[in-house]
Chains A and B, each alone.
Chain A
Amino acid sequence: MSDQDRGSLQQLMAGLAHELNTPLGAIQSNRDVLNRAVARISDILADGVVDDEEIEHVRSLAQTISEVIEIDQVAVDVIAQLVASVRNCWRPDEHEKRCVDLHRGIDSTLLLLRHELKNRIKVEKEYGKLPPVFCYPGQTNQVFMNLLLNASQAIEGEGKITIRTYEKDGHAAVEISDTGSGIESDSIDRIFDSGFTTKGTRSGMGLGLRICREIIERQGGAIEVESTVGKGSSFRVTLPLGGCEEVAGDL
């Protein structure tokens, strides 16, 4: 693992920790609220006499308790989704191809990048109809993660990333376009070369575009780029369709 890879992983982990902290904070606070509410009810019941005012109080406590429980469920769902996304993007499935829904994989990746994107980048999804794709799910997701991270880092300040998917000539296509700085024409031929970067070491990306290309080409696909300086870049990943007659699983 290079320093660049490590930097990027650290960034992702920090973002993930942040995302987990939100539901965790809610659950932690809610547990405290539940304890307090139950203690209040016990106090009210302690003398064996309950007057009208106390009944009203217990009613409002019951209302609080049920609200808090409801929010706990939401928070737990968010944590479960995040954990599922981590599993989808770093699963040890290197040796097995499976039929998967690419959209779900991209959504998982977006969830993990939420912290990175949230404040400044608008993500527009233009998902077309895609049949299941027979591929290495974890690795393919890593490619999307990489392209999305690159796109986000190419945008200084606010901008937009558009993810377009469609089926064409027996292939599934995923286009990730950004409104970032774009790539100089004398660099564009080299971006898939080993170790090529236009960035400092701090904004290192996951795999590097060379490995992204290897992963996609190994599966019979292709990865292409178009870019205009000052306007942005667009990466298109295509993967061959076929071999998936059964229902697709999660990417």
Chain B
Amino acid sequence: MTEESEARILLVDDEEMVLTALRSFLQLETPYEVVTHTSPLDALESVNGQPIDVVIADFMMPEMDGVTFLKEVRDRRPEATRILLTGYADKENAIRAINEAGLYYYLEKPWDNEKLQVIVRNGVERAALFRELDARASELESAHDDLDGIRKRLIKALL
């Protein structure tokens, strides 16, 4: 399970100014490590290499739209909490996409920092719970395998 202070947030927006604004705030008010990318393709590559707790991606990006990007992230990092950042004109499309892609939340531009902080904190907790659940499920699975082994040995011994 990830310690809260070790959680990693990935921000993806083709606008550098949005990235800097979000990063400045998160670094000031949260203990998380913040990674930023202007290119969704580069961001996907980085996701392969390191665990991620929360991903915030812009909806309108030239290389790849935010929803497609977040779907790709889900395939690589199912535990990551995925959040879409949307602008004024794409709200309808965004909401439809959120339902389709099963996103955790969407944040509208201009965003409120207090709200952002709460969403990100909850997102980090959610990712941690996901990992814990995953770990417990694996434990359960291996316990089941052990039991199965014992059962087979017992049967063999008794026959």
Chain B residues closer than 8 Å to A71, beta-carbon distance: 16-17, 20-21, 24
Tell me if B87 and A29 are in contact (CB < 8 A): no
Which residue, B21, B27, B62, B109, has most C-beta atoms of chain A within 10 A? B21
- Knowing A26-B17, A71-B21, say if A115 contacts B110 (CB, 8 Å): no
- Closest residue of chain A to B59 (Cβ to Cβ) is A119
The CA of A119 and the CA of B14, in the complex, are separated in Å by: 11
Which applies to chain A's interface (DSSP): helix, strand, loop or mixed? Answer: helix
Tell me if A67 and B87 are in contact (CB < 8 A): no
Tell me if A25 and B61 are in contact (CB < 8 A): no
CB distance from A119 to the nearest CB of B (A): 6
Tell me if A67 and B20 are in contact (CB < 8 A): yes
Chain A residues closer than 8 Å to B62, beta-carbon distance: 118-119
Q: A21-B109, A32-B25, A67-B24 are in contact. List 6 more A-B contacts (CB 8 A).
A: A14-B89, A25-B18, A26-B21, A29-B25, A30-B24, A33-B113
- Knowing A23-B17, A68-B24, A115-B60, say if A29 contacts B88 (CB, 8 Å): no
Tell me if B87 and A33 are in contact (CB < 8 A): no
Contacting residue for B28 out of A18, A21, A36, A78, CB 8 A: A36
Task: Give the contacts of A2-26 with B (CB-CB under 8 A).
Answer: 14-15, 17-18, 21-26
Task: Give the contacts of B101-159 with A (CB-CB under 8 A).
Answer: 109-111, 113
Q: Is residue A191 within 8 Å, beta carbon to beta carbon, of the partner chain?
A: no
Q: Is residue A75 within 8 Å, beta carbon to beta carbon, of the partner chain?
A: yes
Chain B residues closer than 8 Å to A162, beta-carbon distance: none
CB distance from A124 to the nearest CB of B (A): 14
- Closest residue of chain B to A65 (Cβ to Cβ) is B24
The CA of A218 and the CA of B79, in the complex, are separated in Å by: 63
Chain B residues closer than 8 Å to A119, beta-carbon distance: 60-62, 65
Contacting residue for B20 out of A22, A28, A68, A118, CB 8 A: A68
Which residue, A18, A40, A67, A78, has most C-beta atoms of chain B within 10 A? A18
Q: Is residue B15 within 8 Å, beta carbon to beta carbon, of the partner chain?
A: yes
Task: Give the contacts of A31-74 with B (CB-CB under 8 A).
Answer: 32-33, 36-37, 40, 61, 64, 67-68, 71, 74
Tell me if A32 and B113 are in contact (CB < 8 A): yes
Task: Give the contacts of A73-97 with B (CB-CB under 8 A).
Answer: 74-75, 78
Tell me if B89 and A17 are in contact (CB < 8 A): yes
Contact with B along A106-125 (1 / 0, CB 8 A): 00000000010011000000
Tell me if A37 and B90 are in contact (CB < 8 A): no
Chain A residues closer than 8 Å to B89, beta-carbon distance: 14-15, 17-18, 115
CB distance from A70 to the nearest CB of B (A): 8
The CA of A227 and the CA of B91, in the complex, are separated in Å by: 35
Chain A residues closer than 8 Å to B25, beta-carbon distance: 29, 32-33
Q: Is residue B22 within 8 Å, beta carbon to beta carbon, of the partner chain?
A: yes
Chain B residues closer than 8 Å to A30, beta-carbon distance: 21, 24
Chain B residues closer than 8 Å to A26, beta-carbon distance: 15, 17-18, 20-21
Q: Is residue B29 within 8 Å, beta carbon to beta carbon, of the partner chain?
A: yes
The CA of A61 and the CA of B110, in the complex, are separated in Å by: 23
Contacting residue for A29 out of B15, B16, B60, B111, CB 8 A: B111
